[in-house]
Chains A and B, each alone.
Chain A
Amino acid sequence: MNKKVDIARQFIEAIPHSKALGMQLTDMGDGVATIEMPYDGKLVGDPDTGVIHGGAVSALMDTCCGAAVMSHPANPGGTATIDLRIDYMRAATPGQAIRAQATCYHVTRTVAFVRATATDDDSENPVAAATGAFTVEGTR
């Protein structure tokens, strides 16, 4: 892995909230990032079913999208979320880890555009999808 991706990886793994949620960066480079978040009882949103709260999925999506932006060759530095929309297609299966994969599909001098999906063990049926715009820092 090249130096910039290494720095980005260190940066992401140092995020207190991502660490608190047990997020693991499993793959990153060329504008694509994959992050896994293990199932944890403290993240449950519906105590009757044990399904993870949408908010925890949002945190995963946001982190993953940010990682994808930072790994894009056209982005010189850090990034911040401008907006992020999340569609929840189905409840994640209780007990299973959630994996998010984000692609930064276009970068201008000032804005990076990202889309992402999240799945559990049934990788054919996404749990959630996201689209967002992120800042490109250090260009002006």
Chain B
Amino acid sequence: MKAPRRPPEPVQVVKQRRDATLRALVERVPYIQYLGMQFERKGDELTGVLPFDQKLIGNPMLPAIHGGVTAAFLEVTAIITLSWSYLWEDVESGVIDTDALEAGGLPRLPKTIDISTDYLRSGLPRDAYARARINRSGRRYASVHVEAWQDNRSRLFAQATGHFLMPPLRD
């Protein structure tokens, strides 16, 4: 006889837990709020969104988004995607305590060791999007590639590769 299987959780319970975790990750960092960055989630896939704002301009003559803003946007997308991926199992199993998360009790974030940004086109004065791919995530180090685009997904305006120090495992 097969062991009795747990019935699947109601979709709103699963969604609530995923969204609460993502919100806790994003909303507690002042700099992410300052840039006005948001994250869209489809299942476990995250897309960073940077709505255009005048204060993000780096070259008023063109005008173009500041290269530092672009670098920050890519770096934040990498860090949030990396944090999200190591929290994912706990989110799905329900081990994660969403009440504690909302109160600010998150595990520590990964730290950037280095990041190298390529500027492929100038960032236009409109919304930007970014997605990160974790190429390797070990116990201590992770390597992440990030791509950013504006109007066309296939016409990247910037990309970056970064290395990150993972936070010590929770006990």
Chain A residues engaging chain B, CB cutoff 8 angstroms: 14-18, 20, 41-48, 52-56, 58-63, 66, 78, 80-88
Contacts and interface: CB of A to CB of B under 8 A. Distances in A.
A47 B28 contact: yes
B124 interface: no
A136 to B, nearest CB: 15
Contact of B31 (A20, A45, A62, A84): A45
Chain B's interface size range is: 35 or more
Top 3 closest pairs, chain A to chain B, by CB: A59-B68, A55-B72, A53-B31
Nearest to B64: A80
B83 interface: no
A6 to B, nearest CB: 17
B66 A62 contact: yes
A81 B57 contact: no
Contact of B34 (A14, A42, A62): A42
B6 to A, nearest CB: 36
Which DSSP category, helix, strand, loop or mixed, fits chain B's interface? mixed
B56 to A, nearest CB: 6
A124 to B, nearest CB: 21
B7 interface: no
Contact of A59 (B71, B114, B115, B119): B71
Contact of B116 (A42, A62, A83, A88): A83
Interface of B: 28-35, 54-61, 66-69, 71-73, 75-76, 104, 108-109, 111-119, 122
Contacts of B115: 54, 58, 85-86
Given A20-B55, A54-B112, A55-B76, 12 more contacts: A17-B58, A18-B66, A42-B30, A47-B30, A55-B31, A55-B69, A55-B72, A59-B66, A59-B68, A80-B122, A83-B117, A84-B117
Contact of B57 (A16, A43, A54, A84): A16
B58 to A, nearest CB: 5
B99 to A, nearest CB: 18
Given A15-B60, A83-B116, A55 B30 contact: no
Which of B67, B73, B122 neighbours the largest number of chain A CB atoms within 10 Å of its CB? B67
B68 A17 contact: yes
26 contacts: A15-B59, A16-B58, A16-B60, A17-B69, A42-B34, A46-B109, A52-B31, A53-B29, A53-B32, A54-B75, A55-B69, A55-B75, A58-B68, A58-B75, A59-B72, A62-B66, A62-B67, A62-B68, A66-B67, A80-B119, A81-B119, A82-B118, A83-B116, A83-B118, A84-B117, A85-B115
